[in-house]
């Protein structure tokens, strides 16, 4: 990565943080997934009577070690380690998509891409820098969301149950493997579509293809069809990472100035 590419990355990041509409999207989704949703879960568990049928149903699905701990605490841990991580994955997907769409298609839409292409960087260097800018922002937002979630959840747990939450190994896999891989997949999908897409909105819709499987995983969790554990997550993460590597490798190939500017 040379100085020119760094300048391009800085410009791209500033472009999104200075745009109120895009920045609010980057703020609202993490806020909902990492703060509001876990809070709703926690409050539900705290204020639902233990004998209620719903809670018993949930207990039946989730692998909770009943004997050694308070039921509410155990349930909380299971929700935070099995269900919330899947919702959390929307954050990297959405932030990567928003950023990549603005970075690639937005430049085309605003007719600034051609100016960029006249600089002495190769097409590959420009693409690499832009992919990295989207990736860095997506990971930054994800990490920040995780930190925010931890702070809020720990505070709420302490207040309601005088207890702490210890993130399980699943979270480590989510943060270090699945989120980066999904970010890259989302970015490269948008880059691939960017030659054809004419507007940012059109391009962002592509990320729906990534969100759907995640939604199915979430539904699967609640239905008890497929229970998330570290091994499944590791497998999924490895598969996503492999796809991401292939997509990134091939993302800048096959593109010519002529194709991009069409």
| Residues at the contact surface with another protein, assessed by CB under 8 A | 3-4, 7-8, 11, 15, 18-19, 110-112, 114-122, 256-258, 261
- Measured from the CB atom, the residue of 68 and 115 that comes closer to another protein is 115
Residue 62's nearest CA partner among 173, 232, 233, 222 is: 222
Residue 121 CB, shortest distance to another protein, in Å, is 7
Residue 145 CB, shortest distance to another protein, in Å, is 25
- Cβ-proximal residues to 197 (8 Å cutoff; 6+ apart), any chain: 105, 203
CA 253 centroid distance within chain? 26
Distance from C-alpha of 3 to C-alpha of 9, rounded to nearest angstrom: 10
Residue 30 CB, shortest distance to another protein, in Å, is 23
Distance from C-alpha of 200 to C-alpha of 205, rounded to nearest angstrom: 9
Distance from C-alpha of 208 to C-alpha of 192, rounded to nearest angstrom: 15
- Measured from the CB atom, the residue of 20 and 162 that comes closer to another protein is 20
Distance from C-alpha of 149 to C-alpha of 165, rounded to nearest angstrom: 11
- Measured from the CB atom, the residue of 117 and 136 that comes closer to another protein is 117
Residue 99's nearest CA partner among 31, 42, 16 is: 16
- Measured from the CB atom, the residue of 11 and 192 that comes closer to another protein is 11
- Measured from the CB atom, the residue of 117 and 177 that comes closer to another protein is 117
Residue 17 CB, shortest distance to another protein, in Å, is 10
Residue 115 CB, shortest distance to another protein, in Å, is 4
Cβ atoms of residues 176 and 182 within 8 Å: no
């Amino acid at each position: 990565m040379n100085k020119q590419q760094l300048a391009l990355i800085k410009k791209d990041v500033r472009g999104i943080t200075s745009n109120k509409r895009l920045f609010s999207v980057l703020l609202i989704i993490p806020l909902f997934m990492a703060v509001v949703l876990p809070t709703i879960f926690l409050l539900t568990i705290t204020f639902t009577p233990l004998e209620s049928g719903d809670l018993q149903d949930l207990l039946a699905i989730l692998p909770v070690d009943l004997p050694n701990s308070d039921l509410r605490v155990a349930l909380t841990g299971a929700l935070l380690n099995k269900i919330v991580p899947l919702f959390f994955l929307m954050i990297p997907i959405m932030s990567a998509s928003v950023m990549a769409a603005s970075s690639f298609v937005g430049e085309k839409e605003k007719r600034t891409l051609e100016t960029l292409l006249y600089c002495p960087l190769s097409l590959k260097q420009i693409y690499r820098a832009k992919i990295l800018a989207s990736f860095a922002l997506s990971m930054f937002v994800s990490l920040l969301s995780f930190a925010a979630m931890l702070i809020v959840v720990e505070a709420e747990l302490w207040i309601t149950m005088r207890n702490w939450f210890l993130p399980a190994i699943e979270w480590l896999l989510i943060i270090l493997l699945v989120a980066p891989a999904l970010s890259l997949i989302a970015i490269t999908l948008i880059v691939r579509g960017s030659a054809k897409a004419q507007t940012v909105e059109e391009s962002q819709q592509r990320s729906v293809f990534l969100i759907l499987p995640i939604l199915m995983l979430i539904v699967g969790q609640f239905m008890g069809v497929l229970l998330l554990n570290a091994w499944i997550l590791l497998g999924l993460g490895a598969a996503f990472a492999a796809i991401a590597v292939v997509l990134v490798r091939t993302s800048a190939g096959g593109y010519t100035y002529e194709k991009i500017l069409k």
